[in-house]
Amino acid sequence: MSDTVVRPVDDAVWGDLETVFRTPGDPAGCWCQWFRVPRSGFEKLSVGDRSERLHDQVRDGSPGVIAWVDGEPAGWAAVEPYTAYPNLARSPITKRIEGDPADPWAVTCFVVRTEFRRQGVARSLLDGAIELARARGAEVLEGYPVDPEMRPTISTAERYHGTVSLFRDGGFEVVRRPSAIRAIMRRTV
């Protein structure tokens, strides 16, 4: 049985967070800036600029949680107020509609290093994100996952939002389906 530890990120664990983001694939290019920077600005930022932006966000206050499995950095989940992610309001999937809470907290992405996948790390990260949001005074938490039951061919890269089953197991309920494979899920904290 592996020992998994999850806690909010801070500057003391920046090196471990770098290890997580250097995972081959999309994380190494995004550094969790996709929802923060308008697309034209995102494309102008170098990977180093994106990394430094995340490092600045870590220094300013925890923008998420990190997981270790048996002492090895294994994953990350981003969680902050909705308004920390300007691109959420621009997306037809995640923009606010009448009746939505104005500024819920949002779990926007997960990164799990390849060698730690299928070990429950994403579940542990979601639990940690819920606890971080609760500790910071959140009343409502949202996720914007994909639903592999609706399209089994969803790639690993597309699953960075998390899956409907992951969020359901974390106590979230579907509040709407803005597309065939995406859901808006919400829970109180």
User: Would you call 46 exposed, middle or buried from its count of C-beta atoms within 10 A (0-12, 13-18, 19+)?
Assistant: exposed
pTM: 0.94
- Torsion, Cα 13 126 25 113, to 10 degrees, reads 60
Backbone dihedral angles phi then psi of residue 90, each to the nearest 5 degrees: -90, -20
The pLDDT tens digits for 107-150 are 999 999 999 999 999 999 999 999 999 999 999 999 999 998 88
Distance CA 113, CA 50 (A): 19
| The domain defined by 4-188 carries CATH number 3.40.630.30 | yes
The pLDDT tens digits for 64-114 are 999 999 999 999 999 999 999 999 999 999 999 999 998 999 999 999 999
Q: What is the DSSP string of 170-187?
A: TT-EEEE-SSSSB-EEEE
SS3 label, residue 128: helix
